[in-house]
Amino acid sequence: MCQTCPHGVAVDYSIHQPGKDGDERNFHCHMLFTTRRMTAKGLGEKAREWDDLKTAPALAKGFRAFVAQIINDELKAEGKAGLVHVEHRSFKARGGGQQATRHQGPLKTHTVRRGQHSARTAWQARERKDQTERHAKERAGLKVRQDFALQTKLAHLAERERAGITTIRADLAKAQAPRAPAAYSRPLPGRPCGPILTGRPAM
């Protein structure tokens, strides 16, 4: 940046991440630059163009555009063009109808953030309570469904067991029932009736 700065001044910058209680998009950079131009021997003549109240505002806008261009070029080199873009112009200059917010100062901002923090804490507490109640109802409903499914399964198993026992008892009763004597058929004509003796007759 110092090598390409059109004013030949030295620049000291510090990149800050968003504060924990602020806007999460508020990545920003603080810059300080010398009032004198840098030379091979050190500080040289003053950059008087910044002292003129008529030209200083335009120079500041130009410097903002210069910084934005450097950042966007680096983002493009990292393959993030189109994903992240730094815009130095105001909402009014860009158009589109988006209204700028009024600067409130550190005290007002701290007060608002503290109030937002309290409101956010209260909202989180309500959300946790609602979530706990929701989970309790879901668990209760799940237990009812599980108990019903278990009772249905047990009833089905008991019915199958009763049916099996009934079948076994019927089979046992059938096996233990007395059998009727076998009926003998009449002898055919021309055949002897009675027992057939073989061997010697008994004396």
User: How do residues 132-143 score in pLDDT, each as one tens digit?
Assistant: 887 788 778 878
Share of the chain above pLDDT 90, in %: 2
* Pair 2, 39: CB distance under 8 Å: no
- So where are the chain's domains? 9-103
Q: Smallest Cα–Cα separation from 7: which of 43, 41, 36?
A: 36
CA dihedral 50, 73, 43, 40 (to 10 degrees): -140
CA dihedral 175, 180, 182, 185 (to 10 degrees): -140
* pLDDT confidence of residue 137: 84
Condensed to tens digits (0 to 9), the pLDDT of residues 181-196 reads 655 555 556 655 555 5
- C-alpha–C-alpha distance, residues 50 and 8, integer Å: 12
Token readout for 41 is 């021997």
- C-alpha–C-alpha distance, residues 64 and 61, integer Å: 5
* pLDDT confidence of residue 73: 92
Mean pLDDT for the stretch of residues 17-36: 80
Report which of residues 202 and 103 the model is more confident about.
103
For 9, counting Cβ atoms within 10 Å of its Cβ (0-12 exposed, 13-18 middle, 19+ buried), the class is buried
Condensed to tens digits (0 to 9), the pLDDT of residues 71-114 reads 899 989 988 877 888 888 887 887 766 666 666 667 766 666 66
Report which of residues 198 and 87 the model is more confident about.
87
3-state secondary structure 46-98: ECHHHCCCCCHHHHHHHHHHHHHHHHHHHHHHCCCCCCCCCCCCCHHHHCCCC
76-80, 119-123, 154-158: least confident range: 119-123
* pLDDT confidence of residue 201: 54
Question: At 138, is the secondary structure helix, strand, or coil?
Answer: helix
pLDDT band at 56 (very low <50, low <70, confident <90, very high): confident
* pLDDT confidence of residue 22: 67
Please state the length of the chain.
Answer: 203
Please give the DSSP secondary-structure letter assigned to residue 130: H
* pLDDT confidence of residue 187: 58
Mean pLDDT for the stretch of residues 19-25: 72
Condensed to tens digits (0 to 9), the pLDDT of residues 38-53 reads 888 889 999 888 888 8
Mean pLDDT for the stretch of residues 14-34: 81
- C-alpha–C-alpha distance, residues 82 and 75, integer Å: 9
